[in-house]
Structure formats: C-alpha cells, structure tokens
Amino acid sequence: MSFIDRIFPNPLPSIDDILNKYKKRNLPEGSKVTRIAPSPTGFMHIGGIYTALICERVAHQSNGVFFLRIEDTDTKREVEGATKLICSSLSNYNILPDEGIDSNGQEFGDYGPYKQSERKSIYQAFIKYMLEQGKAYPCFATTEELDELRKKQELSGARPGYYSHWAKYRNLSETQILEKLDAGIPFVIRFKSEGNYNNKIVIQDGLKGKINFPENDLDVVIMKSDGLPTYHFAHVIDDTLMGTTHVIRGDEWLSSLPLHIQLFKALGFTPPKYTHISPIQKMDGDSRRKLSKRHDPEADVRYYDSVGYPKDAVIEYLLNLANSNFEYWRRNNPSKSYKDFNLELKKLSPSGALFDFVKLNNISKEIIAKMSAEELFINSFEWAKQNDSELYLLMQQNSDYVKSILSIERTGAKNARKDIAKYSDIKEEIKYFFDDRFSISDDKISEIKDIPSSKEIVKDYIEIFNETDTNQEWFNKMLTLSSKYGFAKNAKEYKLNPSNYKGDVSSVVKIFRILLTGKTQSPDLSEIQKTMGSTRVLNRLKQIDNIIKD
Ligand code: GLU
C-alpha cells in the first residue's frame, strides 16, 4: 500500500466529481462574487461588519453574489455560539448573504456546505491529489524538533521557517515515510513549495496597487494532525469551488498573499482578485492605532446596539468611513436608500480609516431627525425593552406624554431637532418633563440670580402666561418683558449700546428655560410649555419664590 493510501485509507470523492458538482456560476458579465469568511472565535469586531458591508455592496452593485462561509477548522479557537453571533450580527445590520448560514444555523445556497468543518472530505481529496503530484508531503517534525530548528536559525541569522534545506522531512523516501507511519508517529501534511525567496514577484492588490514580494518558499502546513486543513489551504479550495471572483479581506493577510497565489497555481486554479483593506483605526493621543477589542468598547459590534444607535446610522457611518464622498452623496440624495450609493474599492483609505464618534453621532442625529415621533417612540421603546428597563417602564406608563415630548420640533418641523444621537440619549432628553426627575442644579440657580429682576420678570409672566400661545405670541411676551425690565430686544441692539441695557432678550428667555428644564439649552420653549401643560409650567415658575427669597 502506498503511503498516500495509508494516510487516506477511506474512500474520498474524486477531484473530477467535486469539480463537476461545483458548476461555474452563471452570472452576467462583470458580476462579482464576494464572500466573508469569519472564524467563529466569539467576538464580532466592527471591522468585520465593515468588511462584510463592503463585500456585500461590491457584489450586489454588480448583480453578483455575496456569500458567508464559516471558517471553523481551527477547533481550538472556536467558541460556542460564535457562528450564531456572526449570522445574527449580519442580519441585524441587514447585510444579507445570498448563500451561507442563517441565524438559526440553517444552510442555504448551491455551493455549500458553507461551514469548513463540514467540507473535510473535499479538502482531503485535494490534499491527496497534492501528495500524488509530489506537491505536498507528510512532515513528522515534533514540537522539540521545530523548537530546535528555530534556535538554529536564530543563531545562524537565517530567516525563520520551514523551507529549503531546513525542511527536514521534505525529501523522505516512500519507505522512510511508511516506516514512520507504521511507528504511529504523528504527522502533518506540508505544501512542497517550488518558490525561490530570491525571486521577486509583483502582485496587484485592488486597493494597494502593485506590490513586490519575495516568492514564497515556505513549506506551510496544509493539513493538521487532526486531518483538518489550515486556513491557507482551505480558502484556496473554497474560493475556487464557490466561484469567488473578488476576495476582500483584512490586510493582516497581505503577507500570506505570495503563498496563497502559489497554492492556487499548484492546484491549477486561477486566483481571484484580492483587495486588502486596512483596519479601522483610532487616535490615541497623537498616534493612530487599531481599534482594540480589549480597550475600545466600540470595537464590539454589540456596543452600537447596547447604546441604541439605529442600524442605518451604523451602516451609513461605515459607508462614510469606506468612501468619504458618501457624505456628499447623502446630502444630495437625502431620501435614497444607501444601496443606491456606488461604493468604490479604490476610494478606500489605503492607510486605514479613522474612527470618529463625533461623525458617527452627527450621522445618527440626522437619521433620527428624519424619524417621525411615532417611529422614534417605537424604535426607542423596542430598544429600552432590551437595554433599559427604567426607560421602558417610563415610556410604557406615559406613552402619550412621551410621544408628545418626542414630537417637539419634529412633527411638521422644517428643521427637525438633532439632539438625539442614540436611543439611550432619550432618557436624559425627556427627564425634565417628569416632576420626580426634574431638578435645577445650584450653578443654574446662580445663573438665574445673576440676571437682574429675574423674580419680577417671572412673576409678571405668570400673570400673562397662556398655554395656547403660538411660538410667536410667546416670544412677543418675552420681548415685552425685555423692554419693561431694560433688556435689549436682540444681541445686536445690546452690543451697540451695552451701557443702556441689562442684557438682551436671550437672558430673559434663559430664566424660563432654566426654571422649566433645568438646562440652558433645550428645544423650543413654547412647545415645551404646551407639552408640559399649564399646571406643571406654573408650578415650576412659582419655584422662583424659593429660589429668590425677598
Ligand atoms: N478566516 C479568516 C479570518 O477570519 C478569513 C480571511 C479571509 O477573508 O480570507 O480572518
């Protein structure tokens, strides 16, 4: 029996059968087939969603196919529930693969299985083929031998790795191999690289352009001792069989590219086009660094949900990170779906996009501003149900009141308010409408005290207060009070003759804003008054007697 049959004693599918089963995809000219191929290690980095979104857009913009493949051949790193997290994160953000696995673990599509652990016999058939062709060999190196090799290379200043004359098991005879197999010595299968490190090759990357590499000469492991392939080998087989035309992945894989290209060629396959994207970075003091799973909560895709960013805000933010012209496009196409935007790979930043909360918040505020009060209520209520029981209860017990609060400067407004970036902001924004949550801080009280005649102004206003005043009628009252108590009717008038006035109308308005909301900034005060109702408004205004005692 040959050593190859000893290694694979059980029947495996034939290469021809496999190639026949995975038919060439019948797609219109120019369609791109992309995939994301995450490993189920228990964490969904926002960078993973970023890459998935780019892959999905590139495929669907070209009427192509976007699929999901779970790369779970590294069983030691696998975390339970991780595949579900990947699938649910994708569906949560509406990045829907045409083929792959759904959130219930159900596989769909004609090019599966889409979990590498279910494709063992396919990989083994190709590994057997590589052995038959003399393009791979079993390697019996023990951990100790590999450690020793490393030390020797270090001492002699040689490049580390298993290659050329360092590759001890590369040229064993059939008899030597059989002896070792008979002795039950554990082994892996290595690729027998024909490369020469001194040769330079040029590879075209979709984003980084032409890159020079030394040719690969490493005899990398392609099948581990557990019979499963390594990522390097598995992805070559899968991307070929599944018809991937464009591999878009993180640039941590860039250095493996010469190896990958060599593996494709060794198998007689044409490599797909590769685009390596730089990770999302952030500023840390004066320097840039990758978003880190350990230090940055925003690295975890679950973060965005937990604080209540609408899904579209996250997606639009990521599109903006990918192509900075998205912002301009959105301004000119406010009501189109983001899917109408044409994402271009070559417009991605080659050095990595910078994460910026201010930008994310601005995009999110715009998106929330477009929601009707009813929609915002429903979305934030849903969010609160999962994430903030206190807010949930408050909204449930006061739903009409909260809806009318959320309507302020929203329903029918020309410029809807843009003070809410995420659903968790709502609690703070509605707090002062509830007497048991409302308070005025000492420094705000001092601000009222510092405004001349504030007590008299409030007392006067109580007399003329009318809940049904329009915004204009209310403001006219502010002007009347201003002129009565020596305040200018606007900032310009005040600045022309500051010694003639105690301030301008904004100081008068500020008294009421603080008394009613506890804040110096708020939405339209006349609308706030209407929403609060006269009893609550008058009770608050009457607090002036406690604030300023005679
Ligand atoms: N399984 C690899 C990873 O999780 C995929 C790399 C690729 O997209 O080819 O990083």
| Nearest Cα residue to atom 10 of ligand 1 | 38
Pocket lining: 37 vs ligand 1, CB cutoff 6 Å: yes
Model pLDDT, residue 297: 95
In a domain, 229, yes or no: yes
Question: pLDDT tens, 224-275?
Answer: 999 999 999 999 999 999 999 999 999 999 999 999 999 999 999 999 999 9
Beta strand pairing status for 136-139 and 188-191? antiparallel
Residue 397: count other Cβ atoms within 10 Å of its Cβ: 9
**In contact, 177 and 138? CB cutoff 8 Å:** yes
Question: Side by side, which strands form the sheet with 200-205?
Answer: 209-214, 200-205, 273-277, 246-250
Per-residue pLDDT 10s for the chain (550 aa) are 899 999 999 999 999 999 999 999 999 999 999 999 999 998 899 999 999 999 999 999 999 999 999 999 988 888 899 999 999 999 999 999 999 999 888 999 999 999 999 999 999 999 999 999 999 999 999 999 999 999 999 999 999 999 999 999 999 999 999 999 999 999 999 999 999 999 999 999 999 999 999 999 999 999 999 999 999 999 999 999 999 999 999 999 999 999 999 999 999 999 999 999 999 999 988 999 999 989 999 999 999 999 999 999 999 999 999 999 999 999 999 999 999 999 999 999 888 899 999 999 999 999 999 999 999 999 999 999 999 999 999 999 999 999 999 999 987 777 888 999 999 999 999 999 999 999 999 999 999 999 999 999 999 999 999 989 999 999 999 999 999 999 999 999 999 999 999 999 999 999 999 999 999 999 999 999 999 999 999 999 999 999 988 7
Which atom, in ligand 1's list, is nearest to the CA of 253? 6
In DSSP terms, which residues pair with 203 in a beta bridge?
211
- The distance from CA 97 to its chain's CA centroid, rounded to whole angstroms, is 16
Instruction: Tell me the one-letter amino acid at 271.
Output: P
One domain, residues 353 and 383: no
Q: Are residues 261 and 250 in the same domain?
A: yes
Are residues 125 and 271 located together in one domain of the fold?
yes
**Residue 348 belongs to some domain of the structure:** yes
Rounded CA gap, 37 and 35, in Å? 6
Count CB-CB contacts under 10 A for residue 488: 22
β-pairing verdict for 107-108 and 100-101: antiparallel
Radius of gyration of the chain (CA): 33
CA-nearest residue for atom 5, ligand 1, is 37
DSSP state, residue 436: G
SS (H, E, C) 277-315: ECCCEEEECCEEEECCCCCCHHHEHHHHHHHCCCHHHHH
Residue matched to tokens 């933010």: 317
Dist. CA 66 → ligand 1 center (Å): 15
In a domain, 380, yes or no: yes
Please measure the distance between the N-terminal and C-terminal CA atoms of the chain and give it in whole angstroms.
108
Q: How far is CA 207 from CA 351, 352, 387, in A?
A: 10, 11, 39
Q: Specify the 3-state DSSP secondary structure of 401.
A: helix
The CATH number of whichever domain residue 530 belongs to comes to 1.10.10.350
- Among the atoms of ligand 1, which is closest to the Cα of residue 252? 10
Specify the number of domains making up the chain: 4
CB 162 within 8 A of CB 149: yes
Q: Of 539, 511, 546, which Cα lies nearest the Cα of 525?
A: 511
Distance 69 CA to ligand 1 centre (A): 9
pTM listed for this prediction? 0.91
Q: Among 34, 35, 36, 39, name the best residue to mutate to test ligand 1's pocket (greatest count of ligand atoms within 8 A of Cβ).
A: 39
| In a shared domain, residues 343 and 452 | no
Ligand 1, atom 4, lies closest to the CA of: 38
pLDDT of residue 530: 95
What pLDDT sits at residue 103?
86
The CATH number that applies at residue 336 is: 1.10.1160.10
| Residue 38 CB less than 6 A away from ligand 1 | yes
pLDDT of residue 533: 96
- Residue 316 sits in the same domain as residue 265: no
- Residue 92 forms part of a structural domain: no
User: What's the one-letter identity of residue 186?
Assistant: P
Token pair of 116, please? 């590498």
Å from CA of 253 to ligand 1 middle: 8
Alpha-carbon gap, residue 529 to 520, rounded angstroms: 15
Give the burial class of 143: count Cβ atoms within 10 A of its Cβ; 0-12 exposed, 13-18 middle, 19 or more buried. exposed
* Stated length of the chain: 550
Residues 392 and 365 in one domain: no
Q: Is the CB of 71 under 6 A from ligand 1?
A: yes
Closest atom of ligand 1 to 248 CA is 8
Instruction: Mark which of 338, 354, 369 sits at the end of a domain.
Output: 369
Phi/psi of residue 359, nearest 5 degrees = -65, -45
The Å distance, Cα 37 to ligand 1 centre, comes to 5
Token pair, residue 226, equals: 């557990």
Sequence-ordered list of residues with C-beta below 8 angstroms from that of 363, at least 6 positions apart, any chain: 313, 316, 317, 320
Contact 388, 395 (CB under 8 A): no
Contact call for residues 191 and 263 (beta carbons, < 8 A)? yes
Determine the Cα–Cα distance for residues 376 and 369; give it in Å rounded to an integer: 9
What pLDDT shows up at residue 350? Answer: 85
Domain-ending residue, one of 259, 277, 295: 277
Residue with tokens 């002129």: 483
Ligand 1 closest atom vs CA 36: 8
Q: Which two tokens stand for residue 510?
A: 């500020």
The rounded distance, in Å, linking the Cα atoms of 75 and 545 is 71
Asked if residue 43 has its Cβ within 6 Å of ligand 1, the reply is no
Residue 211 in domain: yes
Domain housing 535: 438-550
Q: Within a domain: residue 50?
A: no
User: Does residue 317 sit in the same domain as residue 248?
Assistant: no
* Cα-based distances in Å from 380 to 91, 92, 357, 383, 406: 19, 16, 20, 5, 11
Backbone angles phi, psi at 385, to 5 degrees: -55, -40
Helix (H) or strand (E) holding 190: strand 188-191
Q: Are residues 415 and 510 in the same domain?
A: no
Top mutation candidate among 249, 257, 277 for ligand 1, by most atoms within 8 Å of CB: 249
Looking at the domain assignment, is residue 54 inside a domain?
no
Give yes or no: residues 126 and 258 share one domain: yes
Give pLDDT tens digits for 132-146. Answer: 999 999 999 999 999
Separation of 495 CA from ligand 1 center, angstroms?
Answer: 63
In one-letter notation, the amino acid at residue 246 is: H
Task: Kindly report the CATH number assigned to the domain that includes residue 201.
Answer: 3.40.50.620
Residue whose token pair is 């008899």:
175
Residues 272 and 124 in one domain: yes
Instruction: Say yes or no: CB of residue 166 within 6 Å of ligand 1.
Output: no
Final residue of a domain: which of 348, 369, 390?
369
Residue type at position 488: A
The model's pLDDT over 271-321, given as tens digits with 9 standing for 90+, comes to 999 999 999 999 988 999 999 989 999 999 999 999 999 999 999 999 999
Q: Side chain identity at 192, as an amino acid letter?
A: K
Asked if the structure places residue 465 within a domain, the reply is: yes
475 with 535, same domain: the answer is yes
270 and 125 part of one domain: yes
From the centroid of its chain, how far is CA 327? 17
**3-state SS, one letter per residue, for 257-273:** HHHHHHHHHHCCCCCCE
pLDDT in tens, 487-521: 999 999 999 999 999 999 999 999 999 999 999 99
**Three-state SS annotation for 94-109:** CCCCCEEECCCCCEEC
Ligand 1 geometric centre to CA of 23 (Å): 24
Ligand 1 atom at minimum distance from 39 CA: 4
CA 252 to centroid of ligand 1, rounded, Å: 9
* Residue 549: per-residue pLDDT: 82
Report residue 321 as tokens.
């990170």
Residues with Cβ within 8 Å of residue 357, at least 6 apart in sequence:
298
Cα distance between residue 231 and residue 253, in whole Å:
11
Ligand 1 pocket test, pick from 69, 235, 240, 274 with the greatest ligand atom count within 8 Å of Cβ, gives 235
